[in-house]
Amino acid sequence: MPIAPLEASHRAASDVELIAWVDARDELLGALPRAEVRERGLIGRGTFILLFNSQGELCVHRRTLSKALYPGYWDVAAGGMVGAGETYAQSAARELEEELGVSGVDLQFHEKFFFDQPDNHLWCAVFSAVYDGPLRLQPEEVLEARFLSLAAAEIDSQHKPYCPDSLAALQRYRRSVGL
C-alpha cells in the first residue's frame, strides 16, 4: 500500500529530527538525526505512555504505514524518541499530545529499561496516565485508536502485529503495579 504524500513528508521531517544518542548505560553522548541513529544501529531514548480510561481500559492505536519501524502495527503505548535537549518526562508529555491530542494529564513514571532488537536499540521510560476525554489522532502517525481491557489487548496482540517495544513496556508496567 503506498504512503500518502502527507505521511511521506512527515516521515522525511521525522528522519532529520535530532534525537538523544546514548550509550549502553543511558549516558548522553550527543544528538544525531533519527535516521542516522537507526541506520548505524546506535542507541536512542524513547518514551512509552500507557493511556488508560477511568474504567482501566488501555488505549490501543494503529500506526501509519509511513513509520520507519513497525509500519501499520498496533501499539499499546503512545510515545516516541526523546528529542535533543529533552528529558524523558518532557518527551512523554509532548508525544502524548502530538499522537493522541491528550495534554494536561498527570504522567506517572514507572521505570526505565533497555530494549534491544537488531533494528531497535532503545533506552525506554515507561509512563502511564488516565484520561476520559476525546482523542485527537495525529493523521500522519495514527490511523485509528480504541480502548480495550488489558486482557483483550493481550489476546489481540497474539493475532495481530503489535510493536514489540511497547509490549515490553506494558509488561514492565504490569509488573511495577502488581498486575
Closest CA to 110 of 96, 94, 124, 126: 126
Could you give the CA distance from residue 122 to residue 37 in angstroms, rounded to a whole number?
10
Average pLDDT over residues 160-168: 97
Number of domains in the chain: 1
10, pLDDT greater than 60: no
Domain extent at residue 170:
5-177
Give CA–CA dist 45/88, Å, rounded: 8
Q: Give the pLDDT of residue 7.
A: 57
Closest CA to 47 of 13, 11, 105, 94: 94
Q: What is the pTM of this model?
A: 0.91
| DSSP letters spanning 48-96 | EEEEE-TTSPEEEEEE-TT-SSSTT-EESSEEEEPBTT--HHHHHHHHH
Instruction: Summarize pLDDT for 32-82 with one digit per residue, the tens.
Output: 999 999 999 999 999 999 999 999 999 999 999 988 889 999 999 999 999
CATH classification at residue 166: 3.90.79.10
Radius of gyration of the chain, Cα coordinates, nearest whole angstrom: 15
